[in-house]
Structure 1
């Protein structure tokens, strides 16, 4: 009866009494099952999911190992690889009934052991097997993992991380869930939309950067249908992108700042070569699967699938804005991580902080922007002590995790000279953001003085562009400050407002104001000062 009690089929009554005087009874759920009621236990009802089977899966691997007596499989997946869907497809093809449990829906991780035990019982009552994931939810709950491994029914576990032998002495069959090809993803989207999208809309093409499982595609397609219906419009690419973005997990927002991109290529004022580098970066992100998988170039890649870039330039030269434009072009959100808050003075803590960030990043479809990379790169120096050595380890570890991240990760730095050449060689794209020349500064002044902004005729943008060697960020600040000065006095923006705002910006920069720079407008400062 020990196995029956452990499996939740029998319950021990009156546990406060001496052992030999206790009684056993059949669990209520088992009694209900015997009487024909197959309503799942409430403890797992909210975790059950009817996963969409993937187009392909490890069917033969499961069949062969099952014939050898295997009862435990671990399917490792990359984001979008649909390990659960592939396990379901394989078990369905083998004619094995199955129960699929989404551990990510656990309300409290403290309930993990009880939920796993109940799920195993439900699978046994159904006479089938159990599919459970993601394993990351149970990574710190070893007893729950061991319960899965020792279950009296076949179990397929799915996760992103590598199987840890310390979890259980039971050795699972290790399988890898491949990413669906571009063609397979297109078929999945078409099947889920069920003809509701016009033939002119290419769902897979419009959502290429997104790593979505078939189940996530189903939810994204449904969200797109609802959004289009609410607007009284046919489904278009914008609806599909919004539905795909809605599948992102919220965990990364606790560790970063999420930006929904609103700027476009026309908003950038950069040298032509920098713009070309940015367009090449988006092309690599958009066509990566086709080149690496469909065209077989993955075998010739020297590192992981991750796409890494470095944006180098002074503050205010457009690095963050460019990352936002790249994300917008790909239809992805941008998550900004301030590395100065990640770096820890205690050895080893920085790596732990990065681990937490990338663990959450693997669950979203987004562009990662690691801002203030000088917090790490600025430490690289000649190794004189243990702290210097670990500072260099932190850089190597960050780049390693960026390469493993199955998406686009961007670093920004104000001091490219601080970055070692060995690390520069590991980056896919390096874009320089120089201080703008006079012609570009004039475009920036025109861009940041909005068309709807009321202005006086005395504004001399040619003078401002030629006299002040400022970055785009500084020019934006000046235009905004000048607009507030004018609004406070309920009048249009004048050259006086721009002169005063420029003076304030100089003070913020710690720079002296020279008469020669303000030229004929220097007296405006004295009059208003």
Structure 2
């Protein structure tokens, strides 16, 4: 490169000497600031011609092994293109060219090469159509982002030329840093980890290996879980000896996309973009080319209108593309406590990159607390990585209860255990074993909890979420149901989409409001209500998350919904024995007076209360005891039970009344 700069400097110096010898204003210190009449007449008398082959600087050799020659082969540059680059970047390497170019441009303020000047140096001129074509936006210099033609308001011969600093650094042998245009836009450079063909052969016929072996190709990868498949593609490309530029755009940025494609071609890197932002048409049109390996990933199907002229290979991410099963073990190392890590992390549908981030967070939290990673720390970190954005339509509950905190008969309690098992093993049963295929069915788990008010349905959903290590999101029906036609479905779709891509338990409390029976169409209201039910029926088929519906009256739920439910759990009204257990469970943390157990047994027999009412009565008893500053007594328990009876409008028998037993 320096040899080419030196040869160019000699030619420019000679051109300065030649022009100054016939220029009567050469000694004018204000030359270039104004045009005299004499200068104008001299310029008008000059013929339109180029410098001539004898005066031209030798064009660079594009067939050697220099950086400029490799660049020419990569971008399809001609020898004239290479000369234009050298002449344009000369002021960035040797500041002496600024004064020389200013003199030759007849303008001390124009210190960069112009189109006319570089063509004069090459022995041609802007009158040559072939030479002029090299500055067309579709020509390799401009389409590849190698040259910037400035001063659009000037005629082409007078426009200044600038070479981006990233390209100057590359030609000088510096590829240590990413292009400055790619800073703070979500681009990460991942170096290769393998050794070319030998490493690529070890990954088998996986999707990533096929992309790595395909050469320049543009692939759209539709993923079920964001990032799950792209991780394997990135790993395969790096194992094959390819650097990877991973781009996570927050919005469509065409300038960043052009700089990204140029960076990929300079480094011989592959580009992985995920997830695609909304309306990515212009971004896809820039990146969808046959000059680099580009993988575009997202959860939406590709739109042919994004890049109608590009050969976009549309693929669906195959099942089982998440990270290896031992990734959690490798990332976390030694653990604190005796727990099954595989079982603890099974509910989380995380990509390899998300697993690594969650593991780093768990290790940092463990180091802060001075322990090895614990179950709670692992679950907390995983929840943070996969937390849904549902705050506008749902209320988050961080579960603080487990199976020890719920009192149920054996049958419904066993079904709650089965529900947690389904949530943990759905990827294996529905994915690997293919027990739910066809019809666009998702891998969701949906259960209905039916029972009277206060029988523990909401608590049961919280217990399931806590056992799985997930957050519980209670859908706020007031923000979902809308009086305008179609808006309810849109709000529900936002919820379903967010839960599909993240990990949580979704609770539709009082689900009758949206999952009720369809009715005979007698008015326009009935018609649109039935359309809403039809939407929900279709959406449950493709649902991929975990949802719990609760109802006080199972008969209110449409039978078509019932068929799509995985489990229906009936929460019975507690009998006397269960009410005793509920009283003891609710008062477990309180100080108790002597003989409280006998009074609890009598109250459980006398007052037929559901679990929710017993909890409220226990709270009342606790407040009464706290006001006295003593332990909870039998009188406090009885007072709390009587208060719940009175709230429900039920008759309370006093011992002093003649009809009392």
TM superposition score normalised by structure 2? 0.68
1-structure distance, mates of 2:636, 2:644: 12
Partner of 1:368: 506
CA offsets per residue over residues 123-169 of structure 1, 9 Å max, x none?
A: 2332332110112xx12343233333358533111112222334332
Partner of 1:259: 397
Pair 18,319 (structure 1): closer, same or farther in 2 beyond 3 Å: farther
Deviation at residue 7 of structure 1 after TM alignment = 5.1
Deviation at residue 502 of structure 1 after TM alignment = 4.3
Pair 32,160 (structure 1): closer, same or farther in 2 beyond 3 Å: same
2-structure distance, mates of 1:13, 1:483: 79
Q: Equivalences for 1:102-141 in 2 at 5 Å?
A: 102-103=248-249, 106=250, 109=251, 112-135=253-276, 138-141=277-280
Deviation at residue 58 of structure 1 after TM alignment = 0.7
Contact kept? 1:101, 1:132, Cα under 8 Å: yes
Deviation at residue 246 of structure 1 after TM alignment = 2.9
2-structure distance, mates of 1:151, 1:249: 38
Deviation at residue 504 of structure 1 after TM alignment = 4.6
2-structure distance, mates of 1:96, 1:318: 56
RMSD across aligned C-alpha pairs, in angstroms?
Answer: 3.4
Partner of 2:59: none
Partner of 1:480: 619
Q: Equivalences for 1:172-251 in 2 at 5 Å?
A: 172-180=312-320, 185-193=324-332, 195-197=333-335, 202-249=340-387, 251=389
TM superposition score normalised by structure 1? 0.84
2-structure distance, mates of 1:141, 1:293: 30
Q: Name which of structure 1's ranges 367-376 and 76-85 shifts more when overlaid on structure 2.
A: 76-85
Contact kept? 1:402, 1:409, Cα under 8 Å: no
Contact kept? 2:412, 2:570, Cα under 8 Å: yes
**Structure 2: runs of 5 or more not aligned:** 1-134, 194-201
Pair 168,477 (structure 1): closer, same or farther in 2 beyond 3 Å: farther
2-structure distance, mates of 1:431, 1:339: 22
2:218 counterpart (59, 63, 72): 72
Contact kept? 2:517, 2:559, Cα under 8 Å: no
1-structure distance, mates of 2:318, 2:330: 20
Contact kept? 1:216, 1:247, Cα under 8 Å: yes
2-structure distance, mates of 1:256, 1:336: 5
Q: Name which of structure 1's ranges 226-235 and 52-61 shifts more when overlaid on structure 2.
A: 52-61
Partner of 1:317: 455
2-structure distance, mates of 1:312, 1:165: 46
Deviation at residue 376 of structure 1 after TM alignment = 1.0
SS at match of 1:251: coil
Q: Is the aligned partner of 1:100 residue 2:242? A: no
2-structure distance, mates of 1:370, 1:42: 48
Partner of 1:342: 480
Pair 482,237 (structure 1): closer, same or farther in 2 beyond 3 Å: closer
Partner of 1:526: none
Q: Is the aligned partner of 1:62 residue 2:195? A: no
Pair 93,232 (structure 1): closer, same or farther in 2 beyond 3 Å: closer
CA offsets per residue over residues 85-144 of structure 1, 9 Å max, x none?
A: 1221343455444311123xx3xx3x6334333322322332332110112xx1234323
1-structure distance, mates of 2:160, 2:442: 58
1:86 counterpart (220, 225, 232): 232
Q: Equivalences for 1:408-447 in 2 at 5 Å?
A: 408-447=546-585
Which structure would you say has the larger Rg?
Answer: 2
CA offsets per residue over residues 33-87 of structure 1, 9 Å max, x none?
A: 33315422345334234679997731464367x46xx632011222277222122
Contact kept? 1:181, 1:293, Cα under 8 Å: no
Deviation at residue 309 of structure 1 after TM alignment = 0.9
Q: Equivalences for 1:464-479 in 2 at 5 Å?
A: 464-479=603-618
2-structure distance, mates of 1:13, 1:326: 64
2-structure distance, mates of 1:494, 1:49: 65
Partner of 2:162: 25
Deviation at residue 456 of structure 1 after TM alignment = 7.2
2-structure distance, mates of 1:478, 1:388: 42
2-structure distance, mates of 1:31, 1:521: 100
Q: Name which of structure 1's ranges 270-279 and 19-28 shifts more when overlaid on structure 2.
A: 19-28
SS at match of 1:460: helix
SS at match of 1:31: helix
Contact kept? 1:73, 1:173, Cα under 8 Å: yes
Pair 189,253 (structure 1): closer, same or farther in 2 beyond 3 Å: same
CA offsets per residue over residues 359-413 of structure 1, 9 Å max, x none?
A: 3223322222222312113463222234323323323433443443333221112
Contact kept? 2:227, 2:353, Cα under 8 Å: no
1-structure distance, mates of 2:236, 2:449: 45
2-structure distance, mates of 1:100, 1:181: 18
Higher relative contact order (CA 8 A, sep 6+): 1
Partner of 2:294: 155
CA offsets per residue over residues 415-466 of structure 1, 9 Å max, x none?
A: 2111121221111101111222222222212221234335475782233222
Contact kept? 2:515, 2:536, Cα under 8 Å: no
SS at match of 1:185: coil
2-structure distance, mates of 1:166, 1:504: 67
Partner of 2:282: 143
Partner of 2:97: none
**Structure 1: runs of 5 or more not aligned:** 524-529
